[in-house]
Amino acid sequence: MSPTRAPVPPVPARTARQLREATSSARRRHRADPDLNPLRKGLRLERVPDPCCFVLFGATGDLAHRKVIPAIYQLWRTNLLPAEFSLVAVARRPYTDEAFVAEIRASVEANSRVRPIDEGAWAELAKRITYQQLDFGGDAGFDRLSERLDALDEERGTAGNRLFYLATQPSQVTEIVHQLGRVGLDHELRGAGWRRVVIEKPFGRDYESARRLNHEVAKVFRESQVYRIDHYLGKETVRNLLVFRFGNGIFEPVWNRSYVDHVQITVAESLGVESRGAFYEETGASRDILQNHLLQLMTLVAMEPPSSFHADALRDQKLQVLRAITTPDTEHVRHDVVRGQYGPGWVEGAAAAGYREEPEVDPESETETYVAGRFTIDDWRWSGVPFYLRAGKRLPKRATEIAIQFKEVPLPLFRESTGDPAANVLAMRIQPDEGIMLRFAAKVPGLGLDVRTVNMDFDYGTSFAVDSPDAYETLILDALLGDASLFTRADEVEAAWAVVTPIIEGWAAMPAPRFPNYAAGAWGPEAADELLERDGRRWRRI
């Protein structure tokens, strides 16, 4: 039985002249009051998206409530969405429009970046939200969805432009994409508007499954219509890494094997798996973090300068890095990749259960919650420079950092004054305290020659006095604008899996370590420290 739908008052479609006037008015407001729109400060945004329908599959799920819908609210609040905007929430549960809007209001209040909620902005957005109950495996629901979207084009003036956001289980992606193709919702006919699909990670479970998924999606959507989202690429400091490297003349000349000793990339989480035990049992840290977040950060550090900042120019250079990473063999997996699983311990002053005691986790589970590895890139810029990557849950703190450690000076002139001075380090903090730190040696004031290591620290919040947008705000807006620069391409995904799949297969062929092998609140297993100590190095203290 279909749920009762609240009537949606018809809104006449605006004429082209009215649309131009509305856009010009929004731009004038932004120029007059730049604080109204913090996303525009220093960024490339020059227009709001076209009139459109945002179709959110999995709208009752955790991701939609915690990230996607609060991001849409922030974009609306800051006048970055068109007046002719509709959010069509799609899920299996029965809701009326009013009941769904009331539920997501609570989620926005709990998860919004800016609080308290702006009542006026919320009231206007709420008018544009409708709910569609739909069984992802049934034809009838997608037929009704197609009819509903056509009706919204007439009622709301959304001009046939549709973005389909798949905040669903990975197993449901192929089914939804197939149904969208069956009813023709992928078609971009002349004058009928654009059609795009956003697909959340993980994109496949290994190399072969990623290839199959790419193939199935390509049966329906062209590659230019597909936006594979990795929210790390929307973080402010990650995007600033490109500006830092290619917008300044002083760093790129030393960004190579002649000056860099090694690179460390850390993605640390203090939380455990929380209520996602079943998901993590199927995923593990290698699929959850290494294949996407860590390798994507590695490509941005190591890539060659692109010819432009267009999407394919950037992604071409990232792809070259992924293809140049030495493919792990059995010996590499045995000696240069470490896996761990947390046991009971203490994190941030509170007792924490071990992974095997978490809900929906096998008491004998061999799933890794920590992964660390030593990787090399076989190209002229980075040959011989090790990249140490690590990620884990239930570590002492939440922190993501990229650290470039430079080689020591060839002649230590000041060793008598300093002992053994620390090497120069450039560290980019991705979260939570976004910023950049440069460590170097300096003379202490006084008559003697006392040399000490000092830090030059740049902090986003202090320097710009403005909140950084959430990554989902950035990426959703880019998808609506048709900018794929921060989204991964099909060949990128497959190249990343070509690095990680041999690791997963190597682990399957050898006995697992004695889990748990690190306590909650520790920085990982001892084997991870030994990984660097063999090379005469050590992990940075974050």
Spatial neighbors of 167 by CB under 8 A, at least 6 apart, are: 56, 57, 58, 59, 61, 63, 64, 68, 200
pLDDT at position 444: 79
pLDDT per 10-residue tile (average), the chain, 542 residues:
41 40 41 39 60 96 93 94 96 92 93 89 95 90 94 93 94 94 88 89 92 96 95 83 89 94 97 88 93 95 92 94 95 96 95 95 96 97 97 96 92 66 88 88 78 84 75 94 94 97 95 94 97 95 88
Residues 299 and 382: beta-carbon distance below 8 Å:
no
Q: Which one from 65, 231, 293, 332 is the annotated catalytic residue?
A: 293
For residue 421, what is the DSSP state? P
Taking the whole predicted model, whether its pTM rises above 0.85 is answered as yes
Give me the sign of the Cα torsion angle 31, 35, 37, 41.
positive
What 3-state class would DSSP assign to 494? helix
pLDDT at position 33: 41
Q: Which class does domain 16-200 fall in?
A: alpha beta
Strand bridging mode 399-406 / 425-431: antiparallel
Q: Show me where the domains of the chain are located.
A: 16-200, 234-409+489-533
CATH fold for domain 234-409+489-533: Dihydrodipicolinate Reductase; domain 2 (3.30.360)
Question: Given its phi and psi angles, is residue 397 left (phi above 0), alpha (psi -120 to 50 degrees) or beta?
Answer: beta
Task: Give the H or E element holding residue 309.
Answer: none
pLDDT at position 333: 96
pLDDT at position 35: 41
Give me the sign of the Cα torsion angle 501, 403, 38, 125.
positive
User: Is 231 annotated as catalytic?
Assistant: no
What 3-state class would DSSP assign to 135? coil
What's the CA dihedral at 127, 128, 132, 137 to 10 degrees?
-160
How far apart are the C-alpha atoms of 523 and 528, rounded to whole Å? 9
Q: Does this chain's domain 16-200 share its CATH topology with 234-409+489-533?
A: no
- How would you class 513 by CB atoms within 10 Å of its CB: exposed for 0-12, middle for 13-18, buried for 19 or more? middle
How far apart are the C-alpha atoms of 174 and 197, rounded to whole Å? 12
How far apart are the C-alpha atoms of 481 and 311, rounded to whole Å? 12
